[in-house]
Amino acid sequence: VVQLSGGGDWAPAALVVDMDGVLYRGGTALAGLDEFTRVTRTWPRVLLTNNSTVSAASCARKLQRLGAVVPEREILTVSAAMTGYLAAEFTPGTSVYVIGERPLHDAVRAAGLTEEGPGYAAVVLGLDRDLRYAQLGQATGLLRAGCPLIVTSLDPVLLTAAGAVPATGAIAAALRTSGGAEPVCVGKPEQRFFRAAMRRLGVPADRVLVVGDSLDADIAGGQAAGARTALMLTGVNRARPGAAGPRPDYVFGSLPELTGFLRRCTG
């Protein structure tokens, strides 16, 4: 455990925990997952994912397969966050053009919007592993006609068992180039995603510990939302942070290290 900053007597009262690269990598549990979820069971906690191809239910099932029991209501996916964003920004019945997988289409419907064209008011983009060129073409036309581009994340890659594959940010970069639109991001590192998670906790932001494996997405976003942050060296950022860039309050090399820290916090 390395504490980089912050008072020595500070202790978290609630947790916002990124899942990919922290609890598992691809389909494989990281060591200490079951103990971590057991020890934090009584904590106010929200588990986050920027992956728009999963639902809270599928995340809970995956965790269960990996030996960890987490109630669905403690999981916040970026597709669920998209529902909140779209419901706040658009009137019910508005039509949007969606590129993404099933959970994102479900999210659009849950916001009261429709995918019936023509007359699309926005392009909503998440990861689509069956993406076709014609979809990029249709989205490009809409963006050039002035539709906003609303994306679930700007993450460049997703880590899978087969290695890094292009994620939503890579598709967004293509559409930014062809459509000339700056994407509006709903997921990490945007503050609104962390704030949505923290609203569920009932604890002030400065008592929340945001745990993640990405300096750019988790640490920068958690800090912007007013929380303390812990970097896990088990995902995308494997080296201790340098002098430049976001600086987490804590750095942990493994889940058992984090669990040990939280145990000491509760005495």
Chain residues that interact with Mg ion, rule: CB under 5 A: 18, 20-21, 213, 235
Smaller CB distance to Mg ion: residue 74 or 213?
A: 213
Smaller CB distance to Mg ion: residue 171 or 219?
A: 219
Smaller CB distance to Mg ion: residue 235 or 246?
A: 235
- Please report how close the Cβ of residue 142 comes to Mg ion at its closest, in angstroms: 30
Smaller CB distance to Mg ion: residue 18 or 257?
A: 18
- Rounded to whole angstroms, the Cα distance separating 171 from 28 reads 26
- Please report how close the Cβ of residue 108 comes to Mg ion at its closest, in angstroms: 24
Residue of minimal Cβ distance to Mg ion? 21
- Please report how close the Cβ of residue 110 comes to Mg ion at its closest, in angstroms: 24
- Please report how close the Cβ of residue 90 comes to Mg ion at its closest, in angstroms: 29
- Please report how close the Cβ of residue 68 comes to Mg ion at its closest, in angstroms: 16
- Please report how close the Cβ of residue 18 comes to Mg ion at its closest, in angstroms: 4
Smaller CB distance to Mg ion: residue 49 or 135?
A: 49
Smaller CB distance to Mg ion: residue 142 or 258?
A: 258
